[in-house]
Amino acid sequence: MKKFLVTGAFGQIGSELVPALQQKYGVENIIAMGNRNIPQDFAGVVEKLELPNFEGLKTLIKKYDVGEIYHMVSLLSAKGEEVPDLAWEVNVQSLKDVLDLAREYKLKVFWPSSIAAFGPTTPRENTPQQTILEPTTMYGVTKVAGELLCQYYHFKYGIDIRSVRYPGLISIEVEPSGGTTDYAAAIYFQAVKNGQYTFYVRPDTTLPMMYMDDAVKGTIQLMETKANKLTIHTSYNFAAMSFQAHEVAEEIQKHMKLKVDYQPDHRQAIADSWPQSIDDSVARKDWGWQHEYDLAKMTERMLSGIKERFK
């Protein structure tokens, strides 16, 4: 069996995608590649490599006879504003390397785009699949460039590459860092640990969000869909729920005491440049995407999971 290589395997998504792939395809068939935060007790095949590194990646593909890559490594939006050159290198150059290796070794590729591909000129409500892409962050610029590169390699070289525009992701295993949507996950951890959370956005800030179980399920589902069903070769709109910042606080307050206050910082402008809700009907039609978690169900799951982790 050809192997699966996951880059960014110990990031927010990778940490939950890798165990799901291990369960489905066998622990020995998943190569978890990362650079930082590799857990001491990780059960599986690990490779340490910092990207971009074309030759290093090529060596791994040959060593393991890799057939599919989930290329998850990425610098997120807020971090990207601190180090825009590095964001370009990691997000775009390493994608181009993966696509060039996909040509050479006939690899199937998954690559994550984001709601950050949209910008202030995009319609903010029910944002359509095909719309204006004029992001104002370097992260968003890398996602638009990446989407177009994926589509180009698909049509020019026939590469099977699939992608979704992830909304803000909320998960128990790894707290996100360096992003703009992080507050929607951080509040759960702070609620359990301290009973207090200071938002860095206004209470009415509304962004599309998704629970990680749905994100992982959808990602694998897209990769398993027959290629002839797919009509989008940039990146699929992908959605589950949207809520205002204060609504997540109120949902948690139904279960426990939690004090919140609001001190918006530079991330507010990024949040304000992104859509509030996403029309993902093309994903639902083409590959049967359906989410399971809404705010209430996710909140129960997050609070019980975090209490279990930190007890």
Pairing of strands 45-48, 30-34: parallel
* Shortest distance in whole angstroms from residue 24 CB to ligand SER: 25
Between β-strands 30-34 and 113-114, what pairing exists: parallel, antiparallel or unpaired? unpaired
Q: Which of the stretches 19-27, 54-62, 114-122, 241-249 binds ligand SER when contact is defined by CB under 6 A?
A: 114-122
Strands (E), the chain: 3-7, 30-34, 45-48, 66-71, 108-110, 113-114, 161-162, 164-166, 168-170, 196-199, 206-211, 236-237, 241-244, 259-262
Q: How far is CA 279 from the centre of its chain?
A: 18
Q: Which two tokens stand for residue 157?
A: 């070289």
Does position 168 bind ligand SER by CB under 6 A? yes
Rounded to a whole number of angstroms, the minimum distance from the CB of residue 74 to ligand SER is 8
- The three-point CA angle 252-253-254 to 5° equals 90
Q: For the CB of residue 276, give the shortest distance to ligand SER in the complex, in Å.
A: 14
Q: Which of 9, 109, 116, 298 binds ligand SER (CB under 6 A)?
A: 116
Is there binding between residue 170 and ligand SER (CB under 6 A)?
Answer: no
How many degrees, rounded to 5, is the angle at CA 152 between CA 148 and CA 155? 140
236 belongs to the binding site for ligand SER (CB under 6 A):
no
114 counts as binding ligand SER under rule CB under 6 A: yes
Is 215 in contact with 280 (CB distance < 8 Å)?
A: no
Over its C-alpha atoms, the chain yields an Rg (Å, rounded) of: 19
Binding letters toward ligand SER, positions 61-90, x by CB under 6 A: ---------------xx-------------
> Taking CB under 6 A as the rule, does residue 237 contact ligand SER?
no
Which of 77/171 has CB closer to ligand SER?
Answer: 77
CA 247 to chain centre: 22
CA 158 – CA 58 distance, rounded (Å): 20
Is residue 139 annotated as part of the catalytic site, yes or no? Answer: yes
We find the least distance from the C-beta atom of residue 172 to ligand SER, in angstroms, to be 16
64 contacts 31 by C-beta, under 8 angstroms:
yes
Output the six-digit token pair for 216: 């992982």
Residues of span 125-144 touching ligand SER by CB under 6 A:
139
Which of 15, 163, 181, 219 lies at the binding interface for ligand SER (CB under 6 A)?
181
**Which member of 139, 236, 262, 293 is catalytic?**
139
Q: Is 211 in the site for ligand SER (CB under 6 A)?
A: no
Q: Which of 166, 183, 188, 236 binds ligand SER (CB under 6 A)?
A: 166
- Nearer of residues 181 and 190 to ligand SER, judged by Cβ: 181
Q: What residue is closest to ligand SER based on CB?
A: 179
Residue (of 245, 161, 177) closest to 209 by Cα position: 245
From the list 65-73, 95-103, 110-118, 154-162, the region that binds ligand SER by CB under 6 A is 110-118
Site membership for ligand SER, residue 299 (CB under 6 A): no
Written as six digits, the tokens of 306 are 């975090």
Residue count of the chain, please give it.
311
Q: How many residues bind ligand SER (CB under 6 A)?
A: 11
Residues with a known catalytic role: 139
Applying CB under 6 A, the residues found at the interface with ligand SER are: 76-77, 114-116, 139, 166, 168, 179-181
